[in-house]
Amino acid sequence: MTDSAPRASVVRIRGVDKQFTAGAGAVTALSGIDLGIEAGEFVSLIGPSGCGKSTLLRLIGDLTPPTSGSVEVNGKPAHQARLGREYGMVFQAPVLFEWRTVEDNVKLPLELLGMDRSERDARAREMLSLVELGDFARHHPYQLSGGMQQRVAIARALALQPDILLMDEPFGALDEMTRERMNSEVLRIWRQTGTTVVFVTHSIPEAVFLSTRVVVMSARPGRITRVVDVPLPQPRNEETREDPRYFRVVTEVREALRAGGGLGEEAPLASEERVAAEGGIG
Amino acid sequence: MTAAAPSVGVPVPPRPGRMLRFVRTLRYYVPALVVFVSVIAVWEVATRALDVRAFILPPPSAIGTALVENWGAGRWPLFDAARTTLLEAVGGLLIGTLAGVVVAFAVGRWMNARDAVLPFAVAANAIPIIAIAPIFNAWFGITNPVSKMMVAALLVFFPVMINVTRGLTQVEPSALELMRSYAASEWTILRKVRIPNALPYFLTALKVATTLSLIGAIVGEYFGGSTSVIGRVVVQSASSLRFDVTWAAILLGAIAGIVFYLAIVALERVLIPWHASVRGEEHG
């Protein structure tokens, strides 16, 4: 935990394997994963379905334990980081509670932390204006569009001012136009808050546009085949999407995916996504 | 929500004016009203024109007269009967609901409880209610209203238990992951996620249960006990060939059921105004 490194390592994954027991045998979802993420980075995990990118995100969030190896967040085991509420999570679905208003959804993690009411109100207002939904505080989720709901989910994830934001294909369900707008939105929030972001996607343009580094993965077993640096200048905007350097990195990522067998072939193994969480109390 | 509101959200329609809303409400009820009045009119005319015997089908006017004449005291005290039966039904609803909710929480919390209780719950639900009523009369006292309440409670228990269990356990997996990402305890998840999630299921079950509780109470009454109850009035007036009174008693039972049901609908609007089943009920 001593700060000997010049930049604080927010995530450190060493020699992680992950197996799921599925039916008769075990399925290896991840194999030999080593990855370090520095503070303030925006790292995308990209790969074909079944490559374990969502599982890797859940390992960082301690929502599923590794079979072997270690995951450290902020210099301590991921489990302690979760208990310390050191990260915010955004899922593909917004997962808003329909019985709560927009602002009460944002306040949920603050309630769990035991923050007092006036502080909660102020923080929720601040977060909603960060995602530019200040006018919709009293609305219910069903009154918002999909993109707006996802912005509420981001506001909620940021409410505890976490060191890391974990995003699991957050814009996968949105149309292309909304998705591009949300991408710019996320970059603005990232700049404003300075949070480290780990972002799972299977869109190459999205990964390149957003990230400082793109982690390319392959399936069966899921492993990291390449890490591509994205040397595009900040702040990025719509012009970035027309920059020749942008296309160069997109091509580089695409070739890395192809080399790993990631393109042209659909991996049928997507069961890992549902294995993680099961219904039933306790 | 001023002019600055982006147009991407689902627009909240402006509240229509009072007059317009009144007209809309009226227009919503008019078809049902027309059907109702027509059926009554045809019934009245047909029974008179065809000279239908009263024990087959008395005309509505005769039923109305029987209702008014027997409202208070007398051989068929309809008001007293309806009140007692409704009380039995409400008592049964409360007992059955309480039991159903308690078991649902236990079943939702402990898988062992599910395995232990579920077979018996299913078995209890399979009991023909008419067969169990005389036994409950013997157990709880034939004149004691509790014996009728227990018949109603038995009917109510199952749908409440099953629905509440479903509401407590069928929570989106990602909602549970979200709560776990905040290191929330099971108790917190129960309070903040499972119970609100179960509320609509619970109210749906209650709506079914209101009708069931009245059926249970009346079936219990058929097998003896106080005479000032809907069940006994139906049996005895029918055997005295006073079918106008029988019909009046059935009408009262139906009205009690409707009132009971509407009370739950009102409760629903207070408890879960956010739920799709409630917010979509605006006419128009």
pLDDT > 70: percent of chain B: 92
Q: What is the pLDDT of residue A181?
A: 84
Long-range contacts, A80-83 (Cβ 8 Å, 24+): A82/B180, A82/B181, A82/B183, A83/B183
- Using a CB-CB cut-off of 8 Å, the residues of chain B touching A143 are 9-10, 12
Closest CB from A84, A148, A280 relative to B8: A148
In angstroms, what CA-CA distances link A157 with A105, A110, B203, B279?
10, 10, 32, 28
pLDDT score of B281 more than 70 = no
Q: What is the pLDDT of residue A173?
A: 82
Residue in chain B closest to A57 (alpha carbons) equals B181
Q: Is A44 helix (H, G, I), strand (E, B) or coil?
A: strand
Q: pTM score, two decimals?
A: 0.80
Pairwise CA distance, residues B61 & B67, whole Å: 10
Task: List helix spans (H) across A101-175.
Answer: 102-113, 117-130, 146-158
Chain B window 94-113: which residues touch A at a Cβ cutoff of 8 Å?
108-111
Closest of A111, A122, A185 to residue A148, by C-alpha? A185
pLDDT score of A96 more than 50 = yes
Q: What is the pLDDT of residue B199?
A: 93
Count CB atoms within 10 A of the CB of residue B102: 12
Q: What is the pLDDT of residue A277?
A: 38
Mutation target to probe the A interface, by most A beta carbons within 10 A, among B12, B112, B178, B278 is B178
Count CB atoms within 10 A of the CB of residue A253: 24
Summary mean pLDDT of chain A: 84
Question: What integer is the mean pLDDT of B144-159?
Answer: 91
Q: What is the pLDDT of residue B223?
A: 87
Pairwise CA distance, residues A281 & B164, whole Å: 13
Q: What is the pLDDT of residue A105?
A: 94
Question: What integer is the mean pLDDT of A88-95?
Answer: 91
- Range with lowest mean pLDDT among A200-204, A219-223, B231-235: A219-223
Q: In what order do the strands lie in the sheet containing A223-229?
A: A87-90, A164-168, A196-201, A42-46, A213-218, A223-229
Question: What integer is the mean pLDDT of B143-167?
Answer: 91
Pairwise CA distance, residues A149 & A197, whole Å: 19
Determine the distance from the C-alpha atom of residue A280 to the mean position of all C-alpha atoms in its chain, rounded to a whole number. Answer: 26
The CA-CA-CA angle for residues A135, A40, A59, to 5°, reads 90
Residue in chain B closest to A79 (alpha carbons) equals B183
User: What proportions of chain A, in percent to the nearest 5, are helix, strand and coil?
Assistant: 40, 25, 35
> Where does the pLDDT of residue A263 fall: very low under 50, low under 70, confident under 90, or very high at 90 and above?
low
Mutation target to probe the A interface, by most A beta carbons within 10 A, among B10, B172, B177 is B177
Q: What is the pLDDT of residue B6?
A: 44
Q: What is the pLDDT of residue A262?
A: 52
> Where does the pLDDT of residue A239 fall: very low under 50, low under 70, confident under 90, or very high at 90 and above?
confident
Comparison of pLDDT for B279 and A128, the residue scoring more: A128
Q: Are the Cβ atoms of A276 and B196 closer than 8 angstroms?
A: no
Q: What is the pLDDT of residue B68?
A: 87
Q: Are the Cβ atoms of A97 and B193 closer than 8 angstroms?
A: yes
B1 contacts chain A (CB < 8 A) = yes
Q: Where are the beta strands (DSSP E) in chain B?
A: none
A161 contacts chain B (CB < 8 A) = no
Q: What is the pLDDT of residue B16?
A: 61
End-to-end CA separation in angstroms for chain B: 23
pLDDT score of A5 more than 80 = no
What HEC string does A260-271 produce? Answer: CCCCCCCCCCCC
Burial of A115 (0-12, 13-18, 19+ CB in 10 A): middle
What stretch of H or E contains B156? helix B145-169
- Asked whether B140 and B146 are in contact (CB, 8 A), the reply is yes
> Where does the pLDDT of residue B193 fall: very low under 50, low under 70, confident under 90, or very high at 90 and above?
very high
pLDDT score of A22 more than 80 = no
pLDDT score of B182 more than 60 = yes
Residue in chain B closest to A138 (alpha carbons) equals B1
pLDDT in tens, B34-92: 999 999 999 999 988 888 887 788 899 989 888 888 888 778 888 888 889 999 999 99
- Range with lowest mean pLDDT among A203-217, A252-266, B172-186: A252-266
* Closest approach of B179 to chain A, Cα-based (Å): 9
Question: What integer is the mean pLDDT of B183-203?
Answer: 92
pLDDT in tens, B257-270: 888 899 999 999 88
B3 contacts chain A (CB < 8 A) = no
Pairwise CA distance, residues B121 & B87, whole Å: 25
Q: What is the pLDDT of residue B57?
A: 87
Burial of B68 (0-12, 13-18, 19+ CB in 10 A): exposed
Residue in chain B closest to A104 (alpha carbons) equals B192
Pairwise CA distance, residues B209 & B206, whole Å: 5
Chain A window 53-92: which residues touch B at a Cβ cutoff of 8 Å?
58, 61, 63, 82-85, 87-89, 91-92
Residue type present at position A268? P
Comparison of pLDDT for B13 and B51, the residue scoring more: B51
Pairwise CA distance, residues A236 & B80, whole Å: 78
pLDDT score of A100 more than 90 = yes
Residues ≥6 apart with Cβ < 8 Å to B128: none
Residues ≥6 apart with Cβ < 8 Å to B42: none
Pairwise CA distance, residues B283 & B173, whole Å: 35
pLDDT score of A122 more than 70 = yes
pLDDT score of B20 more than 70 = yes
State the Rg of chain B over Cα: 24
pLDDT in tens, B98-126: 999 999 998 888 877 777 877 887 887 88
> Where does the pLDDT of residue B13 fall: very low under 50, low under 70, confident under 90, or very high at 90 and above?
low
Q: Are the Cβ atoms of B177 and A277 closer than 8 angstroms?
A: yes
pLDDT score of B160 more than 50 = yes
Q: What is the pLDDT of residue B77?
A: 87
Residue type present at position B141? G
Q: What is the pLDDT of residue A7?
A: 56
Q: Is A196 helix (H, G, I), strand (E, B) or coil?
A: strand
* Closest approach of B205 to chain A, Cα-based (Å): 19
